[in-house]
Amino acid sequence: MNEVEIEKRTILAVNYFEQGYNCAQSVLMAYSDLYGIEEETAAKLATSFGGGMGRLREVCGAVSGMFLVLGLHYPFTDTKDKAAKNTNYKAVQHTAYEFKAIMGSYICADLLKLKQEPQNPESSERNEAYYKSRPCLRCVTIAAEIVGKEIL
């Protein structure tokens, strides 16, 4: 994957987010075709990770989406394959630290400057005020770029 491909997939992730998919769905869906996963299946798999895991405001959904891509790229499926597990964990930590270096945190509540506690389970209305007051679009952009560079 080259820089042009990463940019294309980053734009795709942003477009998914702007269409109303959550942050985790947007990142995973932008890369899911590389692993033979249909768009709808990717959306289903990542549904619960939006809003910092179901609006619990824990790990940023865009970061979780990035980790889901890494699980597909660096899978651990054989319980005796410690090297595969370690390869995945190394990629997860590397990309998480890179995201944190850019955004200041990979915790949703920190990014939104909220108390880290569950919020109303109803998703927020996507409008101009939403996009102006939240870093979510930037988080999706950064996560999509970082994971693209990781899986080059």
123 conformational bin, left if phi > 0, alpha if psi -120 to 50, beta if neither: beta
Which domain covers residue 42, as residue numbers?
3-150
The answer to whether 89 and 34 are in contact (CB under 8 A) is no
Mean pLDDT across 91-100: 98
* 56-82 residue pLDDT tens: 999 999 999 999 999 999 999 999 999
* 26-48 residue pLDDT tens: 999 999 999 999 999 999 999 99
* 135-144 residue pLDDT tens: 999 999 999 9
Element (H, E) at 97: helix 82-103
Question: Is residue 93 predicted with pLDDT exceeding 80?
Answer: yes
Determine the 3-state secondary structure of 107 from DSSP: strand
**19 CA to centre of own chain:** 16
Q: Tell me, what's the pLDDT at 128?
A: 79
**Into how many domains does the chain fold?**
1
Q: Tell me, what's the pLDDT at 41?
A: 98
Q: Tell me, what's the pLDDT at 38?
A: 97
Does the model's pTM come out above 0.85? yes
Phi (first) and psi of residue 59, to 5 degrees = -65, 130
Question: Is residue 103 predicted with pLDDT exceeding 70?
Answer: yes
Q: Which of 107, 119, 136, 132 is nearest to 25 (CA)?
A: 136
Q: Which of 109, 107, 99, 110 is nearest to 138 (CA)?
A: 99
* 141: its two tokens: 């952009």
